[in-house]
Structure 1
Amino acid sequence: MGEVDPTFVQELEHRPKLSLIEAKGIPEIDLSPIFHNEVPNPSAIESLVKEIGSACKAWGFFKVTNHGVPLSLRQRLDEAARLFFAQSLEEKKKVARDEIIPTGYYDTELTKNVRDMKEVFDFYTNDPFFPLTPHENDDRVIQWCNPTPPYPSNFRVIIEEYIEEMEKLARKLLELIALSLGLEAKRFEEFFKYQTSFIRFNYYPPCPYPHLALGLGRHKDAGALTILTLNEVEGLEVKRKTDQQRVLVKPTRDPYIINIGGIIQVWSNDANESVEHRALVNKEKERFSIPFFFNPGYDIEIKPLEELINEQNPSKYKPYKWGKFYVHRTNSNFKKQEEENLQIYHYISYLRERYFNKCMT
């Protein structure tokens, strides 16, 4: 093994363990009642809502089958992604992103100030608008336009077709989550009129020091919902809520892996929690993953929903603007920060802070 690049090396407490625990308990949920039944079955849908609610509370992660996304489309997307990443670095950098508009290709991303052992390509839906800076008093916005990779020639067309399918699935999942919280099915719809969702292609090359580095460092997703597809190489680790152990998720070909993000944690006033996870690397095999991040408009204010707040359950978070929050987080992907990048717990309300302080004394 050659000399280890120190920018990839994790602190000792965060390095991968040699013995891994497989996460057998992540629920697998059949979406047939909403995608494959011409006539809705209220009893089946009610049961499905309960399954979704239980999975969100117990794990924050679950798998879905019979989701309506054609396998042939996923296969075309996988093949196009492999062809893109197989190009020379010079070719891939023709669609490189920058600190102003972070769409496209990148290979030096940081998570919690440590470089990830991966390459990525990001593509946003509908060339969305974002704040130019995360500063509260700066009202300027900028449009994040997607570059079109020249190779493979049909890459953009396949991506856009796939994004349409992801949006359909994400909206259905949010309806089920809303119902599981006792809300109207369409309660979240208003927040996604002008969305900032995007698809990410992750390529994790074989790594000579998998015991020191991570493909993607520990983190919690900040958005609303993540829909993930993996190849056959293991790597996703989830922190189990019951005992805080990191457990390995067995990769699946057809089911999607779903996890809720920080926005739903805030909207639900902590009824559902975003869960920490990370990605391992393999010494001999390359690994691919394709997450779709379903996110609201940049100007949406994120705060606990009024229907879920009462005297016994007061609001646990102060409001924040999604666009400002996201731009602040994205900036930390490019260079080391003196402080930890922005997290939803930075918006814990005064009442909750007082409760925590009382518990600590």
Structure 2
Amino acid sequence: MTTDFKSIPIIDVGPIVAKGDDLKMGQDPSVREVIKQLDQACRETGFFYVKGHGVPQSLMNEVKDVTHKFFHLPLSEKLKIKMTPNTGYRGYQKIKENITKGVPDLQEAIDYYREVKRGMYGSLGEILEGCNQWPNEPANFKASMEEYIRLCTDLSRKIMRGIALALGGSADELEGEKGGDPFWVVRLIGYPGNPAAIPQNNDIGWLKTYRENGYQLLQFQEHLYATLATC
């Protein structure tokens, strides 16, 4: 992957959102154009913005609103959904509770994972067995977040189908017996206004999506800065 770029590509994924449930999606000319752009973005930058994603702006605003309201609740209220081993490490973490490279993070967060039933992933999955924890306040928190997660996981599945086609495979190459059962993670983060809340670190996973929040929060590589756009 080259690092010779000054801006991040913006890709209209509308065609693969519309055609993504069809395993023959790659035959559509508009889908093939998106696949070409995905291929180029993944090879040349490793990052891209998406538009035409199908997640309503009203829902994104609502998710942002309920998240802000939760983080402004008293600590005693937030700790009602505290993350513990018994919850499969789902729930709320207060500021400095999460550790990155030996340094306490200056952030608070709520973690949600795909719910894992007992024995679902054998002994390796035992640590993540559990159900997600939902706060009582704000009242619409759970409904808003579940709908947002549903739409984002569906969007991610369709983008992954586009990437699979870009790699020369079938649309479902990275699914089922070949690709395994997809696992998702959602992390809602509240920063108290510090210039550097966590140390430099690497994220994991096949596909990571971020919600642009109007602030300069994410740097992609040391000494490499790119112009961010909001779609």
State the TM-score, normalized to the length of structure 1: 0.54
Q: Structure 2 counterpart of 1:104, which letter?
A: G
Match of 1:26 in 2: 8
Q: Are the equivalent residues in 1 in contact too, given 2:16–2:34 (CA < 8 A)? A: no
Greater relative contact order structure (CA < 8 Å, 6+ sep):
2
Amino acid at match of 2:64: D
Identity level (%): 31
CA distance in 1, matches of 2:111, 2:124: 25
Residue 47 of structure 2 is aligned to residue 65 of structure 1: no
Structure with larger Rg: 1
Question: Against the structure 1 CA distance between its residues 86 and 48, is the aligned structure 2 distance closer, same or farther, given a 3 Å change threshold?
Answer: same
Amino acid at match of 1:246: L
| 2:193 corresponds to | 206
Write the deviation string for residues 280-309 of structure 1: whole angstroms up to 9, x where unpaired: xxxxxxxxxxxxxxxxxxxxxxxxxxxxxx
Residue-pair matches, total: 215
Please tell me whether the aligned partners of residues 233 and 251 of structure 1 are also in contact (alpha carbons under 8 angstroms): no
Partner Cα separation in structure 1 for residue 108 and residue 201 of structure 2: 17
Alpha carbons of 1:248 and 1:86: their partners in 2 closer, same or farther (altered >3 Å)? farther
Q: How does 1:154-303 map to 2 (within 5 A)?
A: 154-190=140-176, 194-207=181-194, 210=195, 214-239=196-221, 245-247=223-225, 250=228, 252=230, 255=231
Q: Distance in 2 between matches of 1:49 and 1:163?
A: 24
The answer to whether the 8 Å contact 1:235/1:248 transfers is no
Greater share of helix residues, 1 or 2? Answer: 2
CA distance in 2, matches of 1:26, 1:166: 21
8 A Cα contact 1:55 1:61, kept in partner = yes
In the TM superposition, residue 200 of structure 1 has moved relative to its aligned partner by: 1.0
Distance 1:230-1:246 versus aligned 2 partners, 3 A rule:
same
Distance change (3 Å), C-alpha of 1:140 and 1:109? closer
Q: Letter of the 1:234 partner, please give it.
A: Q
Shift of 1:140: 7.5
Alignment of 1:104-115 (within 5 A): 104-107=91-94, 108-115=97-104
Deviation at 1:198, TM superposition (A): 2.1
Contact 2:70 2:78 in 1 (8 A): yes
Superposition deviation, residue 42 in structure 1: 2.4
For the Cα contact (< 8 Å) 2:9–2:41, is it kept in 1?
yes
The one-letter code of the counterpart of 1:103 is R
C-alpha distance in 1 between matches for 2:202 and 2:118: 21
Letter of the 1:35 partner, please give it: V
Q: Distance in 2 between matches of 1:115 and 1:139?
A: 27
RMSD: 2.6
Q: Which structure 1 residue ranges, 4+ long, deviate > 4 Å from structure 2?
A: 191-194
Using the alignment, how far apart are the partners of 1:95 and 1:226 within structure 2?
Answer: 25
- Alpha-carbon distance in structure 1 between the residues aligned to 2:146 and 2:180: 18
* CA apart distance, 1:159: 1.1
Q: CA deviation at 1:32?
A: 2.5
Partner Cα separation in structure 2 for residue 58 and residue 216 of structure 1: 27
Instruction: Determine if contact 2:106/2:191 at 8 Å carries over to the other structure.
Output: yes
Cα gap change, 1:139 to 1:226, in 2 (>3 Å): closer
SS in 1 for 2:219: strand
Bigger share in strand = 1
TM-score, normalised to structure 2, is 0.83
Measured in 1, the distance between the counterparts of 2:8 and 2:50 equals 11
- Unaligned runs of at least 5 residues, structure 1: 1-22, 256-361
- Partner SS for 1:160: helix
Measure, in 2, the Cα distance between the counterparts of 1:238 and 1:157.
Answer: 32
